[in-house]
Structure 1
Amino acid sequence: MKKTFSTLLATITITLSANSYATLKQEEPSPVWLKKTTDIINLQLSKAAQTYQPGKNPRSVNPDGSVRVVGVKDWTTGFFPGSLWYGYELTGNKELADKAKKFTLALDSIRYIKDTHDIGFMLYCSYGNAYRITGDKIYLPVLSDGARNLAARFNAKVGAIRSWDFGKWQYPVIIDNMMNLEYLYWAGNQFKEQKYTAVANAHATTTMKNHFRKDYSSYHVIDYNPENGNVVRKATHQGLTDESSWARGQAWGLYGYTMCYANSKDAKFLAQAESIAKFIMNHPKTPKDKIPVWDYDVHNALETAERAPRDASAAAVIASALLDLSTQVKDGKKYFDYAENILESLSSEAYLAKPGENGLFILKHSTGAMLYNSEIDTPLDYADYYYLEALKRYKEIKKII
């Protein structure tokens, strides 16, 4: 009887301890840095939504301090509405949701665009988040049209979606294109179009075969022969050299394969994501604050500070991807911890805007296209977007109220 009572008591104690831990996790308060960051996010997004007009979205800050505003056809145009949706989720500010809807609906005409893979960035970040959060079917017709046009850019002989329709390329596919597969996975499920899912899986498989080096760093552009699918050239358009590791390109790859595994449960995509993560996390040239310079190989070519600006946008994408990856593997803590360190750095005074400053963007110190002297050491709308997404994922994993 005594033994039975002791066993029962131990069982009750363990149960209570487990329940207490669960309760504690559910009621965990925000870290000081996160609360401060959330306040700034609310202020910056609220002011930006009042300052700009739907269909004319802020993209970056020009060297003269003026804000670069872009129209509906710009590849980044979906990020600001998407940031407003994420801002609403992070802050609970309903005015942000109201503004997000207006800025999203202003992008309606993108449904007819057929000459770029960026439809995913443009529509899924805006309309996709709008539907996810509200469930309002008003957003579905545009999402349906956009997904159909994106999938139509797939060439079965190549096994991939064509990225660009400009330049002297035969059939260019860029690592960035991995990001747009999430739109197709979602659309395949939402609209019962199995071919969308098949296209996404095929593109990811082809990219895994041809875009990556032995160390799992990636090329930026692979140019294919559209008639037979043979690789014509491995090159770059935004990196330092054809053989260098452009930081945001590595981030796109990590995010893309993590997302592909989440949607397909194909083990080869998970293995690819973890290999890319290892390359990024163990890179000897990564600064102590874990915010990479715009190309990991800049240090090997030019040791001047002017040629090595940081890229907060790459860091934000990496953080969001690693948080997602941390939930899909048994030893996810190493990925979570690395992502948390990035978020703490981005949320510090070194990278986080002061209220009312920075063109009303949230993050400082991103690099768009260094080789073209475009958007260097400046805020970028997609840096903000993926930073907000990462913060949302962080709060969900930590169960922060």
Structure 2
Amino acid sequence: MQKFFIIVVLIVVSCLKAKSQKVNVKDEFQFAQGQLSLMLNEIDQISAGKLVSPRTIENGRLKMTDAGNWTSGFFPGMLWYLYEFTGDDRWKIEAQRFTNYLKGQQYNKGTHDLGFMIYGSFGHGYKLTNDSSYRTVLVNAAKSLSTRFHQVPGLIQSWEHLPQFTYPVIIDNMMNLELLFEASKITGDSSFYKIAVKHADLTLKNAFRKDYSSYHVIDYDPKDGSVIKKTTHQGFADESSWARGQAWGLYGFTMCFRETGDTAYLNLARHIAKFILNNPKIPKDMVPYWDYDDPAIPLSPKDVSAAAITASALFELAVHTQDDYYKQKAQQILKSLSKRYKANKNEDKGFLLLHSTGHKPYNSEIDAPIIYADYYYLEALIRSQDNHLKERY
């Protein structure tokens, strides 16, 4: 009898501990509604002309960007998440307003970031409203993105404007493939799918080290497809592991498994997750420093955005692997973000999270709130709900 009682107590304690590790999603979305209401007021007071989307706080003021900035899709995406969670038409109306500001970007062939910009805004809107005009924008954006793909070297080119590179491809680009997969499903045109798979395959082949950390930039020779150099543009050093880059890789290859069923992508995602979660340089609170190999650690700035992206990716990885370990780690990250890194209520210009790092080598957005950290935080909160990912994917 005593043994049975002890077992029961242990089970109860275990359940209570597991519950305590979970973030109250309803409370967090209530907080988000208040903060985004504040941000909308800020935007309406200062926004004019081509500045359509908030990005960060600079010199104590809300910094806005134009529609062509790679971060422009995150704010409308957040508004769509609020509408998805609450069902309140107020958020739908605002999401439609800020999404429509980006409509012209469907024809932008000068950026590899159309996935961030268009899928994050019109993609979410399409899933929630089935608006046929949104579908058209998604397909046109995928066509524009496809123009940046060349059979040799077989990847989507990231930049043209940096003279130190010939045909650079960055790990971030994995995130833009979701737009191509979506366009393929909408149209039945397999060319979008084939481009995404070719890009993912060569990234898998060339962008990762033996420990499954990734380089930031792989520079290719467009004549024969050979690798010219493996380097960085945002990390501490060419051979260092830039934290947000590791998160992009985890998220991107988890998504690619979802869209293709190719277990090579799933296996890579698991290896990347192991590198992140078992890294000796990751703090106890699971929020990484901006680069795992910065010799200034622990005096180095952290990157909350990398943690939020990682949490979101881990929730999906848990579904595909049926391994609750990833879910538990994602919950741990969310709990840490909600307790230690959240903005002050009704302050900080309406941002949700503080202490991200944008571009450390350029001394840009250091220890700052950044809109994409907030976006992936909301996404992770939605994904943390039981069965959400199973129902969506």
Q: Do the structures match in fold with TM over 0.5?
A: yes
Write out aligned runs for 1:58-207 (5 A).
Answer: 58-62=54-58, 64-168=59-163, 169-207=165-203
**1:352 offset after TM fit, Å?**
1.1
1:359 aligns with 2:345: no
Q: 1:382 aligns with which of 372, 382, 387?
A: 372
Cα pair 1:185 1:200 within 8 Å, conserved:
yes
1:392 aligns with 2:390: no
**TM-score, normalization: structure 2?**
0.90
**1:170 offset after TM fit, Å?**
0.7
1:44 aligns with 2:35: yes
1:302 aligns with 2:310: no
1:84–1:205 Cα change, 3 Å: same
Structural RMSD (CA): 1.7
Give, in whole Å, the separation in 1 of the partners of 2:23 and 2:220. 50
Q: Which residue of 2 aligns with 1:290?
A: 286
Q: Deviations over 1:14-56 (max 9, x none)?
A: xxxxxxxxxxxxxx9x966433322111111122234325852
Cα pair 1:42 1:91 within 8 Å, conserved:
no
Q: Highest CA radius of gyration, 1 or 2?
A: 1
One-letter identity of the residue aligned with 2:271? S
Cα pair 2:244 2:290 within 8 Å, conserved:
yes
Structure 2 alignment gaps of length 5 or more: 1-18
Give, in whole Å, the separation in 2 of the partners of 1:270 and 1:394. 20
Cα pair 2:308 2:376 within 8 Å, conserved:
yes
Q: 1:35 aligns with which of 26, 31, 35?
A: 26
Q: Which residue of 2 aligns with 1:370?
A: 360
Structure 1 alignment gaps of length 5 or more: 1-27
Cα pair 2:304 2:353 within 8 Å, conserved:
yes
Cα pair 2:285 2:336 within 8 Å, conserved:
yes
Q: Which residue of 2 aligns with 1:338?
A: 329
Q: Which residue of 1 aligns with 2:9?
A: none
Runs of 4+ in 1 over 4 A off after TM superposition: none
**TM-score, normalization: structure 1?**
0.88
Q: Deviations over 1:345-388 (max 9, x none)?
A: 1111x211122111211111100001111001111110011111
Give, in whole Å, the separation in 1 of the partners of 2:146 and 2:27. 41
Q: Deviations over 1:218-261 (max 9, x none)?
A: 00000000111000011100000000000000000000000000
Cα pair 2:382 2:388 within 8 Å, conserved:
no
Give, in whole Å, the separation in 1 of the partners of 2:65 and 2:83. 23
Q: Secondary structure at the match of 1:368?
A: strand
Write out aligned runs for 1:216-231 (5 A).
Answer: 216-231=212-227
Q: Which residue of 2 aligns with 1:329?
A: 321
Number of residue pairs matched by the alignment: 364
1:103–1:124 Cα change, 3 Å: same
